[in-house]
């Protein structure tokens, strides 16, 4: 089986249709991105039902349809805030994701937000048993919530494989809270997202180009912040 890349490519903006990022790109725009990434060995893709209410998954599923399944690694998510209040809500959302992605399993399935650890964590266990997900992770969870998820999974003979949280030079909450240390101590992968703060840390903004107006509600220029 092909080894997964160490860098995961996110598809949050795919299928956005202007609602969040302001772009109106379609599948034809993303095909060269997908093809070039796969050519360069970047075969690990992160998506979610929440990204365009399935639009991102649909685009990715179409693009990967001619790629051998074992050559691509897929990460998608269950978002509690978008689920119905039933005992099979997670299974239903996963089934929709699998259909859009045109596959019968995903390599990583995440509980996207920390709505109710006690309620949602048990629902992922049957999906692990079914083989429809290979690894389980949590995203945007606190350290105490991560530990509780680990306990619940452990009682069923499974473990939490990964944590996906915001981490950058401007937001080091996961580091300061001890989450990075906990992941290292418990053999969990840590997936950092928004590491370049949607372009704010690429060098695009400086004292001569102070066009960044807000990052998480704070108005400043990157140069002033780093000083």
pLDDT digits (tens, 9 = 90+) for 26-51: 899 999 999 999 999 999 999 999 99
pLDDT tens digits, one per residue of 71-129: 999 999 999 999 988 889 999 999 999 999 999 999 999 999 888 999 999 999 999 99
pLDDT classification of 61: cutoffs 50, 70, 90: very high
Show the DSSP H helices in the chain as ranges: 27-39, 55-63, 89-101, 117-130, 143-155, 173-176, 179-185, 222-226
Q: What pLDDT, on the 0 to 100 scale, is given for residue 200?
A: 80
Instruction: Report how far residue 3's alpha carbon sits from residue 16's, in angstroms, rounded to the nearest whole number.
Output: 30
Residue 118, judged by CB atoms within 10 A of its CB (0-12, 13-18, 19+), counts as: exposed
pLDDT classification of 206: cutoffs 50, 70, 90: confident
Q: What pLDDT, on the 0 to 100 scale, is given for residue 222?
A: 43
Q: Kindly tell me if the per-residue pLDDT of 19 is higher than 90.
A: no
Instruction: Report how far residue 44's alpha carbon sits from residue 67's, in angstroms, rounded to the nearest whole number.
Output: 13
Instruction: Report how far residue 221's alpha carbon sits from residue 213's, in angstroms, rounded to the nearest whole number.
Output: 7
Q: What pLDDT, on the 0 to 100 scale, is given for residue 18?
A: 60
pLDDT classification of 215: cutoffs 50, 70, 90: very low
Q: Kindly tell me if the per-residue pLDDT of 193 is higher than 80.
A: yes
pTM of the model: 0.86
How far the first Cα of the chain sits from its last, in Å, is 47
Q: What pLDDT, on the 0 to 100 scale, is given for residue 210?
A: 65
Domain architecture of the chain: domains with CATH: 9-195 (3.20.20.100), 202-227 (no CATH)
Q: What pLDDT, on the 0 to 100 scale, is given for residue 224?
A: 42
């Amino acid at each position: 089986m092909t080894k997964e890349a160490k860098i995961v490519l996110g598809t949050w903006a795919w299928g956005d249709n202007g609602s969040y990022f302001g772009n109106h790109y379609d599948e034809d725009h993303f095909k060269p991105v997908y093809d070039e990434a796969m050519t360069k060995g970047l075969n690990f893709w992160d998506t979610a039902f929440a990204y365009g209410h399935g639009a991102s998954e649909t685009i990715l599923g179409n693009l990967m349809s001619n790629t051998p399944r074992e050559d691509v690694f897929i990460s998608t998510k269950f978002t509690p805030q978008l689920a119905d209040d039933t005992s099979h809500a997670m299974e239903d959302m996963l089934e929709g994701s699998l259909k859009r992605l045109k596959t019968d399993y995903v390599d990583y399935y995440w509980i996207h937000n920390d709505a109710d650890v006690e309620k949602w964590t048990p629902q992922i266990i049957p999906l692990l048993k079914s083989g429809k997900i290979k690894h389980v992770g949590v995203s945007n969870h606190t350290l105490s919530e991560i530990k509780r998820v680990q306990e619940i999974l452990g009682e069923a003979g499974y473990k939490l494989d990964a944590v996906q949280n915001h981490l950058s030079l401007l937001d080091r909450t996961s580091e300061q809270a001890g989450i990075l240390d906990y992941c290292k101590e418990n053999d969990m992968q840590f997936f950092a997202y928004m590491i370049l703060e949607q372009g704010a840390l690429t060098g695009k903004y400086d004292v001569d180009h102070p066009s960044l107006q807000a990052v998480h509600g704070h108005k400043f220029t990157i140069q002033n912040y780093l000083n």
